Amino acid sequence: MQLNEEACPVPESVLAELYRASPHALIVLIDDLSADTCAALALYCYRRAHLSSIGLAIAASCDEDELTIQGGNLGENLFAMSRAKDLGTTKNPYQSRKISLALDPIRPRTSFDGKAA
């Protein structure tokens, strides 16, 4: 039995270059792609955990209509996420909440003889 894996919209050699590229080089690499291929590549990468940040970066250069045509609701959401002012502020349900510590002591300090200090 063979799984129906989604085909990568670019050759594997290009995907490998994208994976190793700096953010600036990534823009240069996708600059020559057609709009539909760029959107398909953004969705392809975003669907894979190890490539999701690359998918977001590629989606930032895509047109909303093209992402929506290629990916439906996911494409629309990917467009919005790629345009978020600070990607670090998106809520992650798996991230633990920060713990705040009390600034004042809970009870008064006592000296060794048992008297309040």
User: What integer pLDDT is reported at residue 24 of this predicted model?
Assistant: 86
Q: What is the pLDDT of residues 82-106, one digit of tens each?
A: 998 655 544 544 445 565 565 666 6
User: What integer pLDDT is reported at residue 23 of this predicted model?
Assistant: 84
Residues 60 and 84: their CA atoms lie apart, in Å, by 10
Q: What is the pLDDT of residues 34-63, one digit of tens each?
A: 999 999 999 999 999 999 999 999 999 999
Residues 15 and 42: their CA atoms lie apart, in Å, by 11
Q: Is the whole model's pTM more than 0.75, yes or no?
A: no
